Structure 1
Amino acid sequence: MGKRGTTEVNHVTADVVEQKLGTYLNETFRHLHRNPELSGSEFATQAFVKGELERLGIPYQVMAGTGLCAELRGGRPGKTILLRADIDALPINEATGLPYASQTDGVMHACGHDAHTTAVLGTAAMLLERREEWGGTVKLMFQPSEEKHPGGAKPMIAEGLLENPQVNAAIGIHTNPYLAPGTFGLKDGAILANADRFYIHLIGKGGHAAAPHEGADAIAMAGQLIVSLQNLVARQVSPFDNAVVTIGEIKGGYAPNTLADRVYLAGTVRTVNPDTQVLMEEKIGKTLQGIADLWGGSFTYDYVRGYPITWNDKAMTDLVRQAAGLCLGKESVIELPHGYMSADDFAYIAKAVPSVFIEWGTGDWSEEARRSAAAWHNSTFQVNPDALKYGVTVLTQTILNYLQGGE
């Protein structure tokens, strides 16, 4: 039993969620997985979610074009908590071979946003059943464009997501293929990293490959730059700090016997320390200048700040620890030794209100299989549907714990 004030509430169990919603969760997840849509184009997904909210009798408003904010009100006044699901997919050809694989060429739910949306809809249904047991408001945020900077969270905030009623706390959840169903990875403080991007044009002087001394080889410049950027992390960043530099795109050259006069590179920098973020931006610029001077070339360099660090409020994280322990046992809580170097625009919500971002175990039941699981953004990435009921269980209990007793 859980108790706060004069209101006593039976805790949620995964068996009850399975009994009440098991078929619905699986069918919803499969529908969403079969019908992925890219960032900013989630029209059919939005229409599907609208239909589910209308069926449940939950009012909503359209935000950020293809996003939605719905409001579920309890049996009496109280605080307001926001529960977020992102709804977009990625430009990836699915290669899972699943019977419910993507039916759209070149688009795939390769990050689990279909599971996030399913879990939030399921949580809404569970909270509706127990409406008289809690007070306040639950805002359901169905957010577009998480995968495409600048993201959909900031526009929704600008359109009043966190106001009327004012949001007091927030929860985000994310699939994790390396954790077993029924487990949840938690960490106080920084759970996700800053995610910046850079765009570089190396400008040399074209010429014949047989006379490289007469030109300035932009490809050679690029090769030296790539090695130098890795050394920045190895030799300029403290071993007690974390940073990642990755070149994800490179274009240049015309023919095997021609010196390239221009190479384009684009990449990302991930940091968890604001000082390191500044350091990396400066050091990349200085490295570029040194290479250009050495080779007799020039460059352009644009460094774009992206999603900031996602910060877990300790009190909110403790709320999830308590809910998971109550519903599934203490072994369901995995204390993460460190955060992840990935990023999410839920960070803007977490900067505005006390929040928790949960790593949700959605991997295989077998530990050996989880160790070799396909990562996010991979064409063979999979979510174990068995995890859906556990996600709904812990989300529902966390919100009940937060809102029990009303004002």
Structure 2
Amino acid sequence: MPNDKNYFYIPQIKKRNQKAALFKSLTILAIVFSISFLVFFLTDIVRAGYPAFTQTYIQMEVEINEEVAQNPYGALKGKNLKIASRAWLRDLPNLIKENPSWMNTTQILWVLANSEVDQYVKGKESRTKESERAYVDELRAEGKVERKFNTIFMTTGDSKIPENSGIYASIVGTVLTVIVTMAIAFPIGVMTAIYLEEFAPDNRFTQIIEVNINNLAAIPSILFGLLGLAIFINFFGVPRSSPLVGGMTLALMCLPVIIVSSKAALKSVPSSIRQAGFGLGLTKWQIVRDHVLPLAMPGIMTGSIISIAHALGETAPLIIVGMIAFVPDAATSITDASTVLPAQIFTWAGMPEKAYLERTAAGIIVLLVVLLSLNAVAVYLRRKFERKW
């Protein structure tokens, strides 16, 4: 047997290298699995959601007269009435008022098709009858059926008629709710972090507060909804289903995350900055305001925006405070009844009509775009502040 002591370590080195190679392979496999799942998820969502951005219209001859202006359902008869959307017929009197020259004439108009015909034209499962399908195929052969960009989806609110439902009201409600959330959570969270990190004495009471803040950042979001229901609605009487109560509830959920991220950003500022300020005769507040806070601002902004983006995708706490109600009209103030995009997606996902499924996926696409945009803004602001300071 060789006398070299290193000889006895060769098997251990081989085992160590084998374990390292196995660990590396597992990490690569995990990354590939994660990316594959993400690609599959995004592909499936886009495939299911992009048809919602187009809507089927059918060219028809519509007789306009006083009787039709009073009873729009008399404008179309037979098969045309069966394949047309009730929403379009309901809005026909307003269309006649906007075009008074149409009275007592026959107009060739592009009529919104109902959701079942729209699904059939898109090649999806539909409950249309064979006679209706044959008639639609005949119109398609004549060039009287077209799929146009679905402006209804982007300009209207929720509706019990699938082809007339949109996300405009929920987007307005989401924007108002996020504004209220940011207006409450950001200043309170940052000021709390500044006090705890820079001014509060390191005693038992402060330690208890910090432990509880860290615990609040990890509790289920639905508990914040129950807290908002008990305090803001039942005790203070804030209007239910309003962006005000929704924003205040989400602010409670965002506060712990903003405080923790802001404290970490303040702590990352070198202590030499503070010592230099004291050496120049500056007060504690002047050092924090003019030197520490600007240097910590990139981390504070990043943590706050990511926290708001997380709140934007929350549904559970908003369901508790009533923001899942059927609200077809967009809110005009923070006290009006409203809904938000995640709650709208949740509502559509439970509807029996097939047309709502593609609108659910389309709503998810819009929500993902908004969330990715907010994260991109967070990265941009972080880099901008880092270059500035």
State the structure with bigger RCO (CA 8 A, min sep 6), 1 or 2: 1
Provide TM-score, normalisation by structure 1: 0.22
Provide TM-score, normalisation by structure 2: 0.23
Answer with 1 or 2: which has the greater Rg: 2
